[in-house]
Amino acid sequence: MAKNVKRQFPNPKELAPLMKFGTPTFKRKEKRLAEALTIWDLREIAKKRTPQGAFDYTDGAAESETSLDRARQAFKDLEFVPSILHDVSGATLDRSALGNNFKMPVGIAPTGFARMMQTEGEIAGSRAAEKFGIPFCLSTLGTTTIEDVVAAAPGGVNWFQLYVRKDREASLALVERAQKAGVQNLLLTVDVPAAGQRLRDYRNGFTIPPRLSAKTLINAIPRPGWWMNFLTTPPLEFASLSEWSGTVGELLDHLFDPSLTFDDLKWVRANWKGSITIKGIQNIEDAKKAAKFGADAIVLSNHGGRQLDRAPVPLHLLADIKGQFKKDMEVHLDTGIMHGADVLAAIALGAQYTYVGRAYLYGLMAGGQAGVERALQILQSQMIRNMKLLGVNTLDELEPKHVRFLNRS
């Protein structure tokens, strides 16, 4: 027994203040979401609650998945350089992009087939985005119509992402519908001349919509909630896809036009009255061409690692490409963002705005709209905390001097 302390019997009166027990709750979803402290925590919840095919469609990337791994590693290889003894009591995340003022510098990227991940789908994403004051972008391959998304979040900023299809009249019809619905920004995705080989989809036999095979039924046993929602809500509907029975990669090859060139951007520009953002830029030359052909912003992106394996890492391109443009050309970024600090690093290196895809979908799969809101809460708190630790009050104060890449050689 230690000689430097005096032992005594515990006093019940002194123990009483220490005996604090939480109030039991039967709101299991609320409890599990509250216990998620990171996007990675939401991913673990999502994996347990979502069939393997749908989860892997979100979680996976092309071929060896090296593009995605490298994008995430790039953020890990950053070192922050903080400044001390600054008054950071007024730290704010306000950020402007494409003529809009947003409450955070991160929006929801276009992701296909969201209702297949969780039945609330794009409606959950648009309403969460509206609540947090950030943009929501609907994909051409979304499972909710443009009109329904806008109606669900009438006070939000709803954008539309376009894949130019072989059937140009069908593409034009989507553009016209988006314009009529009040969409002000069109994200034109340009990195899909062919579908990346997403091996997880092939190995899972994942089709659109998912088939009720013996394998999927066995996989569904521990995930009854997903299947109950899938079977008791309106069927998934996709433009021109009602009879499609192949994988997503085969679908992309069937629909999208490999002959698309920069000259086709003139056609899009002529048929769209709002701002245009070109998504999928991966080198300086293409960034300059996009600006020349009328883009209001570009998104440095390798499609979340889902197209070309070993593609350039967007974060590594950022500083050089940003340096080629004046302030009137906005440079945005996606791919690999899993933490609020990742967003701050991108802003410091020159990004005007950023987007998350998987982080949003992990939240959606973990708990519908409440899960998406939890994902945004996590990113929000991480950004505010790290801004204060860096010694800055506004995003405009973030500069390249606040970050540096570690030398791994």
List, as one string, the DSSP characters of 269-312. HHT--SEEEEEEE-SHHHHHHHHHTT-SEEEE--GGGTSSTTPP
CA 363 from centroid of its chain's CA atoms = 10
- Helix, strand or coil for residue 376? helix
Residue 41 CA, distance from chain mean position: 16
Biggest distance spanned by C-alpha atoms of the chain: 87
Triad 349, 43, 213: Cα angle to 5°: 130
User: Which has the higher per-residue pLDDT, 17 or 168?
Assistant: 168
The partner residues of 405 in beta bridges, in order of sequence, read 78
User: Strand 403-405 to strand 78-80: parallel, antiparallel, or no bridges (unpaired)?
Assistant: antiparallel
Cα angle 122, 128, 129 (rounded to 5 degrees) comes to: 90
Task: Check: CB of residue 367 under 8 Å from CB of residue 120.
Answer: no
Query: What is the pTM assigned to this prediction?
Result: 0.91
Cα torsion 109, 135, 283, 396 to 10°: value is -130
Enter the tokens of residue 241: 């896809």
Contact 36, 45 (CB under 8 A): yes
> How far apart, in whole angstroms, are the C-alpha atoms of residue 120 and residue 128?
11
d(CA 405, CA 78): 5
Nearest to 321 by CA among 355, 287, 279: 287
| Res 22: pLDDT | 59
The answer to which of 50-64, 254-268, 382-396 has the lowest mean pLDDT is: 254-268
Task: Please answer whether residues 308 and 196 qualify as being in contact, where contact means their C-beta atoms are separated by less than 8 angstroms.
Answer: yes
The reported pLDDT for the residue numbered 240 is 44
Task: Write down the pLDDT at residue 226.
Answer: 81
In angstroms, the Cα distances linking 268 to 199, 257, 262, 273, 293 are 32, 14, 10, 10, 10
pLDDT of the residue at 65? 96
Beta-strand pair 95-97/100-102: antiparallel
Give 156's pLDDT tier (boundaries 50, 70, 90). very high
Q: How far apart are CA 313 and CA 73, in angstroms?
A: 9
What is the residue whose two structure tokens read 């104060």?
397
Amino acid at 305: G
Measured between alpha carbons, how far is 249 from 330 in angstroms, rounded to an integer? 31
Half-sphere CA count of 285, side-chain side, radius 13 A = 1
Known catalytic membership, residue 86: no
Cross-strand partners of 36: none
Collapsing DSSP to helix, strand or coil, 166 comes out as: coil
pLDDT in tens, 197-237: 899 988 887 776 666 566 766 777 788 888 788 778 887 77
Q: What is the mean pLDDT of residues 282-298?
A: 94
The pLDDT of residue 289: 93
Q: How confident is the model at residue 20 (pLDDT cuts 50, 70, 90)?
A: low
Extended beta strands in 7-104, E state: 78-80, 95-97, 100-102
- Letter string b/e over residues 340-376, b meaning 16 or more CB atoms within 10 A of that residue's CB: bbbbbbbbbbbbbbbbbbbbbbbbbbbbbbbbbbbbb
Q: What is the pLDDT of residue 165?
A: 86
Superfamily classification of domain 34-405: Aldolase class I (3.20.20.70)
Indicate which residue of 303, 332, 339, 402 is catalytic: 303
